[in-house]
């Protein structure tokens, strides 16, 4: 059974940076794409970024393109989300999940299981 554990969230001022980590265990790590999603209070979970098993291809939501960078360290079976130029509207619980399907299918139903999430709060 795959397990995912997120870390790195916190409180940061607008314009600041955070790096989230998603530690994955229980599967052959390079076989699966990994996605980051976020969910703000009262809103649906939304796609943020994804990276293929090889790490050679990435895909971003338009809202974070140019500000966020997803990467993976296959030796450490960990995926990272570097978040720069943070905005108040980036405030949410951020979660990671695996997919054995196409990572271009960014519907949450295409991903799973999920980690417990980490809270990111951006203040003005």
Q: Which of 25-34, 56-65, 109-118 has the lowest mean pLDDT?
A: 25-34
Look at residue 30 in the predicted model and tell me its pLDDT. 80
N-to-C CA span, the chain: 40
Q: Does position 73 have pLDDT exceeding 90, yes or no?
A: yes
The residues that bridge with 119 in the sheet, in sequence order, are 93
DSSP state of 90: G
Going by the DSSP 8-state scheme, the letter that residue 85 receives in this structure is S
> Band of the pLDDT at 10, cuts 50, 70, 90?
very high
């Amino acid at each position: 059974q795959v397990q995912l554990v997120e870390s790195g969230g916190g409180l940061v001022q607008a314009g600041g940076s955070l790096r989230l980590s998603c530690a994955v265990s229980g599967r052959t790590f390079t076989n699966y794409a990994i996605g980051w999603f976020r969910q703000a209070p009262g809103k649906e979970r939304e796609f943020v970024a994804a990276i293929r098993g090889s790490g050679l291809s990435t895909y971003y939501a338009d809202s974070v393109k140019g500000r966020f960078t997803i990467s993976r360290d296959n030796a450490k079976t960990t995926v990272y989300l570097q978040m720069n130029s943070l905005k108040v509207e980036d405030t949410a619980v951020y979660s990671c999940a695996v997919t054995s399907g196409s990572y271009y299918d960014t519907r949450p139903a295409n991903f799973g299981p999920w980690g417990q999430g980490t809270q990111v709060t951006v203040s003005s």
